[in-house]
Amino acid sequence: MIYRIVASTAVALAATSLTGLTACAQDVPVAQQLTQAVTPLPEPLQAGAAVMGYRGGKLVSLREGTNAMICLADDPTRAGFHAACYHQDLEPFMARGRALREVGHERPAVDSARAAEIEAGTLAMPDGPRALYSLSSDDEFNLTTGSAPNTSGLHVIYMPYATEALTGISTAPARDRPWLMFPGKPWAHVMINR
Protein backbone atom coordinates (compact mmCIF):
# COMPACT_ATOMS: atom_id res chain seq x y z
CA MET A 1 0.00 0.00 0.00
CA ILE A 2 2.77 2.44 0.94
CA TYR A 3 4.62 1.46 -2.25
CA ARG A 4 1.55 2.38 -4.35
CA ILE A 5 1.22 5.77 -2.65
CA VAL A 6 4.93 6.51 -3.14
CA ALA A 7 4.80 5.32 -6.76
CA SER A 8 1.64 7.36 -7.47
CA THR A 9 3.19 10.43 -5.89
CA ALA A 10 6.39 9.99 -7.93
CA VAL A 11 4.38 9.70 -11.17
CA ALA A 12 2.34 12.77 -10.28
CA LEU A 13 5.48 14.78 -9.45
CA ALA A 14 7.17 13.68 -12.67
CA ALA A 15 4.11 14.71 -14.71
CA THR A 16 4.02 18.08 -12.95
CA SER A 17 7.73 18.58 -13.59
CA LEU A 18 7.35 17.76 -17.30
CA THR A 19 4.40 20.13 -17.60
CA GLY A 20 6.44 22.81 -15.84
CA LEU A 21 9.35 22.26 -18.24
CA THR A 22 7.05 22.64 -21.25
CA ALA A 23 5.60 25.86 -19.85
CA CYS A 24 9.09 27.20 -19.06
CA ALA A 25 10.34 26.24 -22.51
CA GLN A 26 7.59 28.33 -24.05
CA ASP A 27 8.48 31.32 -21.90
CA VAL A 28 12.19 31.72 -22.54
CA PRO A 29 13.19 35.18 -21.23
CA VAL A 30 12.85 37.91 -23.86
CA ALA A 31 16.47 39.03 -23.44
CA GLN A 32 17.63 35.48 -24.18
CA GLN A 33 15.41 35.26 -27.27
CA LEU A 34 16.72 38.62 -28.53
CA THR A 35 20.32 37.41 -28.16
CA GLN A 36 19.62 34.10 -29.90
CA ALA A 37 17.48 35.51 -32.70
CA VAL A 38 20.02 37.97 -34.12
CA THR A 39 23.03 35.61 -34.10
CA PRO A 40 22.67 34.66 -37.81
CA LEU A 41 23.01 38.30 -38.90
CA PRO A 42 26.25 40.12 -39.64
CA GLU A 43 27.04 42.20 -36.54
CA PRO A 44 26.29 45.61 -38.12
CA LEU A 45 22.67 44.52 -38.73
CA GLN A 46 21.98 42.90 -35.34
CA ALA A 47 21.07 45.90 -33.16
CA GLY A 48 18.51 47.28 -35.61
CA ALA A 49 16.71 44.06 -36.52
CA ALA A 50 13.09 43.49 -35.56
CA VAL A 51 12.71 40.30 -33.51
CA MET A 52 9.84 37.87 -33.22
CA GLY A 53 9.88 35.23 -30.50
CA TYR A 54 7.69 33.01 -28.40
CA ARG A 55 5.43 34.00 -25.50
CA GLY A 56 2.91 31.49 -24.21
CA GLY A 57 3.60 29.24 -27.19
CA LYS A 58 2.73 31.93 -29.76
CA LEU A 59 5.06 33.78 -32.13
CA VAL A 60 4.86 37.48 -31.23
CA SER A 61 6.81 40.68 -31.80
CA LEU A 62 9.51 41.11 -29.14
CA ARG A 63 11.26 44.17 -30.60
CA GLU A 64 10.53 46.69 -33.34
CA GLY A 65 13.31 47.15 -35.86
CA THR A 66 15.16 50.17 -37.19
CA ASN A 67 16.60 48.46 -40.26
CA ALA A 68 15.18 46.16 -42.95
CA MET A 69 15.82 42.84 -41.16
CA ILE A 70 13.41 40.60 -39.21
CA CYS A 71 14.71 37.78 -37.00
CA LEU A 72 12.84 34.77 -35.65
CA ALA A 73 13.97 33.39 -32.30
CA ASP A 74 14.44 29.67 -31.73
CA ASP A 75 11.20 27.74 -31.20
CA PRO A 76 11.57 26.38 -27.65
CA THR A 77 9.23 23.46 -28.36
CA ARG A 78 11.64 21.97 -30.92
CA ALA A 79 14.88 20.16 -30.11
CA GLY A 80 18.15 21.84 -31.00
CA PHE A 81 18.56 25.43 -32.14
CA HIS A 82 17.39 27.34 -35.21
CA ALA A 83 17.25 31.09 -35.76
CA ALA A 84 16.60 32.89 -39.04
CA CYS A 85 16.70 36.50 -40.18
CA TYR A 86 15.40 37.85 -43.46
CA HIS A 87 14.66 41.10 -45.27
CA GLN A 88 11.32 42.68 -44.33
CA ASP A 89 10.11 42.47 -47.95
CA LEU A 90 10.03 38.67 -47.52
CA GLU A 91 7.70 38.87 -44.49
CA PRO A 92 4.39 38.43 -46.39
CA PHE A 93 5.78 35.25 -48.01
CA MET A 94 7.22 33.94 -44.72
CA ALA A 95 4.12 34.83 -42.68
CA ARG A 96 1.87 33.07 -45.19
CA GLY A 97 4.00 29.95 -44.96
CA ARG A 98 3.79 29.99 -41.16
CA ALA A 99 0.00 30.44 -41.30
CA LEU A 100 -0.43 27.53 -43.71
CA ARG A 101 1.79 25.24 -41.62
CA GLU A 102 -0.08 26.22 -38.47
CA VAL A 103 -3.30 24.78 -39.91
CA GLY A 104 -1.58 21.54 -40.89
CA HIS A 105 -0.33 22.06 -44.45
CA GLU A 106 3.04 20.57 -45.38
CA ARG A 107 5.60 21.66 -47.95
CA PRO A 108 3.94 20.74 -51.28
CA ALA A 109 0.60 22.25 -50.21
CA VAL A 110 2.29 25.34 -48.75
CA ASP A 111 4.23 25.88 -51.99
CA SER A 112 1.11 25.38 -54.13
CA ALA A 113 -0.98 27.79 -52.08
CA ARG A 114 1.69 30.49 -52.05
CA ALA A 115 2.36 30.06 -55.80
CA ALA A 116 -1.36 30.49 -56.58
CA GLU A 117 -1.58 33.57 -54.36
CA ILE A 118 1.55 35.13 -55.90
CA GLU A 119 0.15 34.45 -59.38
CA ALA A 120 -3.20 36.01 -58.37
CA GLY A 121 -1.42 39.07 -56.97
CA THR A 122 -2.72 38.53 -53.43
CA LEU A 123 0.68 37.60 -51.98
CA ALA A 124 3.55 40.01 -52.53
CA MET A 125 7.07 38.93 -53.40
CA PRO A 126 9.99 41.33 -53.76
CA ASP A 127 10.94 42.31 -57.28
CA GLY A 128 14.67 41.91 -56.69
CA PRO A 129 17.26 40.18 -54.48
CA ARG A 130 16.64 39.94 -50.72
CA ALA A 131 18.74 38.19 -48.06
CA LEU A 132 18.02 35.52 -45.48
CA TYR A 133 20.53 34.29 -42.88
CA SER A 134 20.05 31.25 -40.65
CA LEU A 135 21.89 29.17 -38.07
CA SER A 136 20.95 25.65 -37.03
CA SER A 137 22.29 23.06 -34.62
CA ASP A 138 21.16 19.79 -33.11
CA ASP A 139 22.50 21.24 -29.84
CA GLU A 140 20.89 23.89 -27.65
CA PHE A 141 22.00 27.54 -27.61
CA ASN A 142 24.54 28.41 -24.89
CA LEU A 143 24.06 31.96 -23.54
CA THR A 144 27.54 31.97 -22.00
CA THR A 145 29.27 31.38 -25.33
CA GLY A 146 26.61 33.17 -27.41
CA SER A 147 26.24 30.23 -29.79
CA ALA A 148 25.13 26.65 -30.15
CA PRO A 149 27.80 23.96 -30.58
CA ASN A 150 28.14 22.40 -34.04
CA THR A 151 26.20 25.20 -35.71
CA SER A 152 25.80 25.27 -39.45
CA GLY A 153 24.98 28.50 -41.19
CA LEU A 154 23.22 29.28 -44.41
CA HIS A 155 23.07 32.52 -46.36
CA VAL A 156 20.29 32.78 -48.92
CA ILE A 157 19.66 35.40 -51.57
CA TYR A 158 16.06 35.30 -52.80
CA MET A 159 15.94 36.16 -56.50
CA PRO A 160 12.35 35.74 -57.72
CA TYR A 161 12.08 33.74 -60.96
CA ALA A 162 15.87 33.41 -61.33
CA THR A 163 17.13 30.61 -63.52
CA GLU A 164 20.50 29.05 -64.24
CA ALA A 165 20.48 30.59 -67.73
CA LEU A 166 19.62 34.04 -66.39
CA THR A 167 22.17 34.07 -63.55
CA GLY A 168 24.93 31.64 -64.52
CA ILE A 169 24.48 29.98 -61.12
CA SER A 170 24.29 26.19 -61.24
CA THR A 171 21.17 24.44 -59.99
CA ALA A 172 23.20 21.42 -58.86
CA PRO A 173 23.26 21.33 -55.03
CA ALA A 174 26.72 21.82 -53.53
CA ARG A 175 28.36 22.59 -50.19
CA ASP A 176 31.47 24.22 -51.64
CA ARG A 177 29.87 26.88 -53.85
CA PRO A 178 26.62 28.84 -54.25
CA TRP A 179 23.80 27.09 -56.07
CA LEU A 180 20.32 28.05 -57.25
CA MET A 181 17.34 26.36 -55.58
CA PHE A 182 13.80 26.40 -57.01
CA PRO A 183 14.85 27.99 -60.32
CA GLY A 184 12.05 29.80 -62.16
CA LYS A 185 9.82 29.94 -59.07
CA PRO A 186 8.82 33.17 -57.32
CA TRP A 187 10.90 31.96 -54.33
CA ALA A 188 14.01 31.01 -56.34
CA HIS A 189 17.06 31.60 -54.20
CA VAL A 190 20.82 31.21 -54.13
CA MET A 191 22.03 28.88 -51.37
CA ILE A 192 25.39 29.69 -49.77
CA ASN A 193 26.49 27.28 -47.03
CA ARG A 194 28.95 28.50 -44.46
91 close to 68: Cβ distance less than 8 angstroms: no
Q: Give the total residue count for the chain.
A: 194
* Residue 179 lies inside a defined structural domain of this protein: no
At residue 194, the pLDDT reads 78
Residue 17's pLDDT is: 34
**Cβ atoms of residues 125 and 160 within 8 Å:** yes
Domain assignment present for 100:
yes
Residue 18: what pLDDT? 36
Residue 182 lies in a domain: no
Is 173 a member of any domain? no
DSSP, residue by residue, the chain? -HHHHHHHHHHHHHHHHHHHHHHHHHT--HHHHHHHHTTTS-HHHHTT-EEEEEETTEEEEEE--SSSEEEE---TTSSSEEEEEEEGGGHHHHHHHHHHHHTT--HHHHHHHHHHHHHHTSS---SS-EEEEEEEESSPPBTTTTB-TT-EEEEEEE-TT--HHHH----S--SSS-EEESTTSTT-EEEEE-
Q: How far is CA 39 from the centre of its chain?
A: 12
Domain of 89 in residue numbering reads as 27-158
User: Is 166 inside any structural domain?
Assistant: no
CB 133 within 8 A of CB 40: yes
Count of structural domains within the chain: 1
Residue 5: alpha-carbon gap to chain centroid: 45
pLDDT, position 15: 36
Residue 4 lies in a domain: no
Task: Tell me what pLDDT residue 143 has.
Answer: 75
Residue 141 forms part of a structural domain: yes
Residue 96, domain member (yes or no): yes
Task: Give the pLDDT score at 112.
Answer: 94
Per-residue pLDDT 10s for the chain (194 aa) are: 333 333 333 333 333 333 333 444 447 899 999 999 999 999 999 999 999 999 998 999 999 999 999 999 999 998 999 999 999 999 999 999 999 999 999 999 999 999 999 999 999 999 999 999 999 998 888 877 777 888 889 999 999 999 999 999 999 999 999 999 999 999 999 999 87
pLDDT at 57: 86
